Amino acid sequence: MTPAALWERRLHLGAHPVLYPLIRGLGSLRPVLRLPGLGVLVSEASLVRQVLMDQERYVKNGPSASGGLWTPVVGPKALVNMDGHEHLELRRRLNGLFTPRSVAAIVEPAAAGLHERLHAELRSGGTVELVGAVKELAGGVISRLLGVPEDAPGRLPNRELFDLGSSISSMVRLGRPALTAPQIARGRAAVGILAGPARTAYRGSDPDTFPGRLRGLGMSEEEAMGIVSAFVMVGTETLVSFVPRLVALLADSGRLPELAADRSCVPAAVNEALRFTVPSPMMLRNATAPGELGGVRLRAGDRLLLSTIHAAKCLGGFDPDRATPPQARQLWFGAGAHFCIGMPLAMAEINSTIETLLDRYGERPWRIPARQVSRGVLIPSYKRLELANVG
C-alpha cells in the first residue's frame, strides 16, 4: 500500500473503525445488499447514479433520507430537503446564483487572509497548521454567505462561524435515521444565530450580499434563510475535510514538484483526489414504491445507503493520469436534479487554497512534519496537518 493510500485508510478507520471496513467488504460482495436495521446498501457506481437520477422513485426528503433529517432544523424549503416539481422550480429560480463574479466576491476576501497567513508563516520559517487555517477560510466564506460586513459590530470571528455550521452537520450519524429532540433544539439554536445577520442583509436588499441576491431572485425571507442555512451546513465539513486531505495526498504521492512547475495538471489532480478521498462518502434516499434494484426487491419506504465511498474507491489507487469512468464521474457531487448547486463555490475554495500552496512550494518547498487523524467523526478528516519548509 502506498503512503497516500495508507494515510487515507487511517483517516477512514479513525472515523469509522467498524463501519468503514464493513461497508467496503460488503460492497465487494454484492452491488446491492439489504442490511437489517440500517437499510439497503448500494455500492456499484452505475446503480448509485441510477438512484440519484430517478427523483420519482428515490427521494431525498423521505423520513430517513438526508433531506428529512434537516427539515426540523432548517425548515421545509432549503433545497437540500426538497424533491419533485417544487424542488425543480426552486432550483430553476436559483440558476445563475454562483456565477464566476459572485463566487469570486464570496471566496476572494476569505482566501486573501489564508494567502497572507500561509506565505507569512512559511516565509518566516514557521509552521502552519493547515486544518485550522482552512476552518478560518470556511468561516470567512460563511460570513460572506450570511452577508455580514467585515466591520459589523459584534461580528463573530471566522472560526466561531465555522464551528456553528459544523455543530449542526456533525450531529448526523449513519445509524441514526432521525435527529433527536435535543439535537433539533441545538440545531435550531445554531441556525437562529447564523440567520440573524442574514435576515438583516436580506431586508436591506443589497445585491452585493448573498441574502440580498436571493431576495432579488424572488426568494421569500424564509426560503432565503433555509437556503443560506443549507449552504452553511452542508458545505463546511466536506470542504475542511477535503482540502487538507488533498494537500497530504499530493505530498504523499510525490506530485507537488510537478504541479508547482506545471499548473495545467492541477485540475486533473484535484478531480482525482475528489474521486479517491470521496468527501461525501455516503448519500441517503428513500424508496417511494416497491421495485427492484440490482437484483434486490425494494419496499416502499426502504432507506437506501448509497455508498459513494465504495463506488469511487474500488476504481483503484490515486492516479491523476487515469480518466474517471463515466458512471463514477463527479459522483461525490451527486447526479441529476440534486447535483450539488454549490459545486462552483466549493471548487473556488479548493483551487484558491491549492494554488496558494503551490505558489509557496515553487518559492521554497514545504513538507508535512506532523499530522493527526480525527476520530469518531462523520466525515474522515485530519485533526491537525502541519506544514513546514524543507531544510
pLDDT tens, position by position, for the chain (391 residues)? Answer: 899 999 999 999 999 999 889 889 999 999 999 999 889 999 999 999 999 999 899 998 877 776 767 778 777 777 777 788 888 888 888 887 888 888 888 899 889 988 998 888 888 888 999 999 999 999 999 999 999 877 777 788 888 888 888 877 777 666 566 778 888 888 888 888 888 889 999 999 888 899 999 999 888 898 888 888 878 877 677 889 999 999 999 999 999 999 999 999 999 999 999 999 998 888 999 999 999 999 999 999 999 999 999 999 999 999 999 999 999 999 999 998 888 888 888 999 999 999 999 999 999 999 999 999 999 888 899 999 999 999 7
Pair type for strands 283-287 and 127-129:
unpaired
Q: What range defines the domain where residue 376 resides?
A: 3-389
CATH number at residue 327: 1.10.630.10
What is the maximum alpha-carbon separation in the chain? 63
- Burial string for 234-257 (b: 16+ CB within 10 Å, else e) reads bbbbbbbbbbbbbbbbbbbbebbe
What is this structure's pTM? Answer: 0.91
For helices 100-123 and 130-146, angle between their N-to-C axes, nearest 10 degrees:
150
CA distance 218 to 256: 45
Q: How many domains does the chain have?
A: 1
